[in-house]
Amino acid sequence: MVFNSYLILVYFLAFIAVYNGVKLISKNVYVRNGLLFLANLFILLTFVKEHTIIVLAVLSLLIYLLGRLISTKSSKGLLAFGLTFVILLFSFRNYPYLQNAIESGAMSFIHAPIMSVEKIGLSYILFRYVHWLVESFKGSIYRPNPIAFINYILFFPSILAGPIDNYNNFAYWVESSRPRYHRVLFFAGITRLFLGAFKTVAIVPLIIVYATDYTLLLDDFSPAIAILINAMIYSAYIYIDFSGYSDIAIGSSYLIGIKTPENFDSPYISMNLSSFWKRWHMTFSNFLSLYVFKPVLRLYNSFINPKYRMLVTILGYLTTFTICGLWHGDTMNFVLWGLWHGIGLSINKVWTVKLKHKVIKNDTPVYRASSVLLTFVFVSIGWLFFHYPIDQLTQMYSIL
């Protein structure tokens, strides 16, 4: 969480007062971007050393310039080069054996700074790089500005864990002069901040112990029931904690007049897994859909007969969610978690397209309630793969 000390909170409140005061006096976009840039630097330097910020700023400027070049030349080769570079940066972050291989090599000058960027959410920064490069190639970037872009990358409320905004939306709200709407956002931001703080400070500590260790329940329940209860509590924990952070990030953005996108929409009342992923970590799900799932579908469609569209969709789900699992971590349990959701989405697709209309004539209340319960149980079991490493998963299986 960004506000991990009272001092940072004081800095932020001071910045809100100064930034909103300047907005009332001056409509100059460069002044706003300059103030926001200074605030980003000031707050992020409480997390990492200045050399890390310098490396990140230089990388961001290079990505910005590459995006402008891609936009001008519409070059697939430059786009491929940029995306390969971003994937390599991701690999340095996520895979220890690659990190060790380059520690004494030619890339050692960048390795330590990039690793320390992880403290401020390297993965989410790389998402923004991919977005910038791909949308630059598509010609859909409006109002490109290097300082606005660096602010977009370093924006402190959402740099740790999202939400993942898009550049056009971010730049629009920084430039926007809508005093009445900004006042509405300001008061909505106060509410969201308090809601997020209540979730993360008041509720999470009450359940985190039982959510993260199933063995604490074995004295009172059988192993199967203890693991099931643990999975349900973990489902509540990860949602409350993650959505609480998103509330804080969104509320903080609202206070300075930037309408950051929503990240959760009551995901546990989803009737199927497809709906769940449209409601859970929505900005990340949207990223997966735009920049992984759809390109993967186009790739498979290029060499698989069009009459096998269902096969293409299933392969797309399995590939996308294997990548999703690997993004979260390099251990096998994350791969299993990704495959669990890829298989679940594939089954849901077959059910929806091929079978449902033959079995279910109407969506009755009983059917809807059963669908919600089944989806929740499926997702909760999946969280076991997400949280526990393979050796503990094996141990849990052996005592069932």
In this predicted structure, what is the pLDDT of residue 282?
95
Residue 316 lies in a domain: yes
Q: Are residues 204 and 325 in the same domain?
A: no
Q: Are residues 18 and 54 in the same domain?
A: yes
Residue 290 lies in a domain: yes
Look at residues 134, 158, 175 and tell me which one is the last residue of a structural domain.
175
pLDDT of residue 105 exceeding 70: no
Give the model confidence (pLDDT) of 171-186 as tens digits.
Answer: 999 888 787 888 899 9
Q: Are residues 238 and 295 in the same domain?
A: no
Residue 1 lies in a domain: no
pLDDT band at 109 (very low <50, low <70, confident <90, very high): very low
CB-CB contact of 311 with 291 (8 Å): no
pLDDT of residue 272 exceeding 70: yes
Give the model confidence (pLDDT) of 284-303 as tens digits.
Answer: 999 999 999 999 999 999 99
Q: Are residues 241 and 271 in the same domain?
A: no
Residue 392 CA, chain-centre distance (Å), reads: 26
In this predicted structure, what is the pLDDT of residue 113?
44
In this predicted structure, what is the pLDDT of residue 93?
57
Tokens 């001008």 correspond to 72
Q: Are residues 186 and 156 in the same domain?
A: no
pLDDT band at 6 (very low <50, low <70, confident <90, very high): low
pLDDT of residue 168 exceeding 70: yes
Residue 342 lies in a domain: yes
Between CA 15 and CA 117, with CA 20 as vertex, the angle to 5 degrees is 40
pLDDT of residue 114 exceeding 50: no
In this predicted structure, what is the pLDDT of residue 116?
46
Look at residues 175, 209, 230 and tell me which one is the last residue of a structural domain.
175
In this predicted structure, what is the pLDDT of residue 349?
95
Give how far Cα 201 sits from Cα of 40, 160, 191, 197, Å: 24, 18, 15, 6
Give the model confidence (pLDDT) of 41-83 as tens digits.
Answer: 888 887 777 877 888 888 899 999 999 999 988 888 999 999 9
pLDDT band at 97 (very low <50, low <70, confident <90, very high): very low
In this predicted structure, what is the pLDDT of residue 111?
44
Lowest mean pLDDT among 25-29, 192-196, 218-222: 25-29
Q: Are residues 168 and 190 in the same domain?
A: no
pLDDT of residue 318 exceeding 80: yes
Residue 56 lies in a domain: yes
Domain tally for the chain?
A: 3
d(CA 312, CA 300): 6
- Mean pLDDT of the 236-260 span: 93
As to burial, measured by CB atoms within 10 angstroms (0-12 exposed, 13-18 middle, 19+ buried), residue 328 is middle
pLDDT of residue 110 exceeding 70: no
In terms of pLDDT, which residue wins out, 123 or 205? 205
Q: Are residues 230 and 310 in the same domain?
A: no
Residue 333 lies in a domain: yes
Q: Are residues 215 and 126 in the same domain?
A: no
Give how far Cα 220 sits from Cα of 207, 231, 388, Å: 17, 16, 21
Q: Are residues 231 and 275 in the same domain?
A: no
Q: Are residues 98 and 166 in the same domain?
A: yes
Lowest mean pLDDT among 235-249, 327-341, 349-363: 349-363
What is the pLDDT of the chain when averaged over all its residues? Answer: 86
Q: Are residues 227 and 283 in the same domain?
A: no
Residue 127 lies in a domain: yes
- Mean pLDDT of the 221-240 span: 94
pLDDT of residue 102 exceeding 70: no
In DSSP notation, 139-182 reads T---S--HHHHHHHHH-GGGTTT-----HHHHHHHHH---HHHH
- Mean pLDDT of the 128-142 span: 93
pLDDT band at 364 (very low <50, low <70, confident <90, very high): confident
- Identify which of 268, 265, 269, 203 has the alpha carbon closest to the alpha carbon of residue 240: 203
pLDDT of residue 118 exceeding 60: no
pLDDT of residue 117 exceeding 70: no
Residue 373 lies in a domain: yes
Give the domain extent around 361.
267-399
Look at residues 175, 196, 226 and tell me which one is the last residue of a structural domain.
175
CB-CB contact of 47 with 35 (8 Å): no
pLDDT of residue 38 exceeding 90: no
Q: Are residues 112 and 24 in the same domain?
A: yes
| pTM across the whole model | 0.88
In this predicted structure, what is the pLDDT of residue 99?
47
